[in-house]
Amino acid sequence: MDVLLFPFQEYWWFYLAFTGFVLAMLLLDLGVFHKHAHAVSIKESAIWSTIWFSLALVFGAALYFYALDRFPSDQRLMAIPGFDPIAAARQVGLEYVTGFIIEKALAVDNIFVFVVVFSYFAIPPQYQHRVLFFGILGALVFRAIFIAIGAVLMKYQWVVIIAGIFLVATGINIILTPEKAPDPGKNPVIRLAKKLLPVTDKFSGQNFVLRENGRLFVTPLFLALLFIEFSDIIFAIDSVPAIFAITDEPLIVFTSNIFAILGLRSLYFLLAGVIDKFRYLKFGLGFVLVFVGLKMAWLNDAFGGKFPVTWSLGIISSILAVSIAVSLMIKPKTHSAK
């Protein structure tokens, strides 16, 4: 269906309200629950992970019931020959859940980056939440920009095909290329920052800048934040087209993407100590990208314009479940001393 179910000109108020809700939750998080710097415990991260995940599911259910109630009274939609409001509402709910799962899975790559960055810059545990808070805040802004651009470009079939081919190539590269941890010291953005900005190895509490002898210096917290923001822009190049492979609705892309990112901080503190156990998850993510790339470039057309979202949800969930199960069942080889 070429007609958008949630056109921006009719739902601008929803984007505004949703953004306001997200900002309110972030301010509550930083201003109340993390007003004072402290190391985030496993219990605290588990509670917040549950809260963010529950909010995402509740929102998905609310979106489904809203569509179920709204579509039958929308004359614009009901004028479309063969339009089924119940089926459309069900499609909305499934697309949101599938998009959320894709974005959540792809966001795991960010956790690997967080571990490396905090280790490289020796960021104390009590300051890591503040870096991630502003990192996530910046990610939300960049994702909104990428989604807005994607909503315009994805109207052109040739762009969709190119994006699909790109995702397939990216997925194959992930599968075939040996895993290599990023080196923040060799990152061009970090190297440029060190050349242009006065940098210090000292910390000033949870501040990003330090005044010393009347001169301002950026602390390691700032460099860590800069690297995280740069990394998210790179990740967004994969993740935003991936979710557009599932749905043409910018509202679903925006909300599922944002909810996946919001829970990323708590997920990091929950999984940071065991993330190395999911050794085969990267292969699962690679196959997911290959699948959604094929869906964009070929499968949608092969299935009359829309590959069944129930099949997509089943395939993606199965790929991720298998990669996680294999990671937990197959232990890494240990080399005994001779």
Mean pLDDT of all residues belonging to the chain = 88
Cβ partners under 8 Å of residue 50, min gap 6: none
Question: What distance in Å separates the CA atoms of residue 20 and residue 13, rounded to the nearest whole number?
Answer: 10
Residue 335 lies in a domain: no
pLDDT at 263: 85
* Closest residue by Cα to residue 87 from 97, 102, 72, 99: 72
| DSSP code, position 246 | T
Residue 3 lies in a domain: no
Question: What distance in Å separates the CA atoms of residue 267 and residue 70, rounded to the nearest whole number?
Answer: 35
Residue 15 lies in a domain: yes
- The residue segments making up the domain with residue 200 are 8-328
Residue 79 lies in a domain: yes
Kindly report which listed range (34-38, 149-153, 252-256, 301-305) carries the lowest average pLDDT score. 34-38
Question: Count of domains in the chain?
Answer: 1
Question: What distance in Å separates the CA atoms of residue 114 and residue 127, rounded to the nearest whole number?
Answer: 13
Neighbouring-strand partners of residue 215? 212
Neighbouring-strand partners of residue 211? 216
Residue 333 lies in a domain: no
Q: Which two tokens stand for residue 193?
A: 């920052």
* Stretch 270-275: mean pLDDT: 78
Residue 257 lies in a domain: yes
pLDDT at 78: 93
Question: What distance in Å separates the CA atoms of residue 77 and residue 84, rounded to the nearest whole number?
Answer: 9
pLDDT at 69: 96
Whether residue 337 is predicted with pLDDT greater than 50 in this model: the reply is: no
pLDDT at 300: 87
| DSSP output for 190-220 | HHHHHHHS-B-S--BTTBSEEEETTEEEE-H
Task: Output the CA angle 299-312-316, nearest 5 degrees.
Answer: 120
pLDDT at 1: 54
Whether residue 205 is predicted with pLDDT greater than 70 in this model: the reply is: yes
Q: How confident is the model at residue 268 (pLDDT cuts 50, 70, 90)?
A: confident
Residue 230 lies in a domain: yes
Residue 337 lies in a domain: no
pLDDT digits (tens, 9 = 90+) for 3-47: 899 999 999 999 999 999 988 888 887 766 667 777 788 888 888
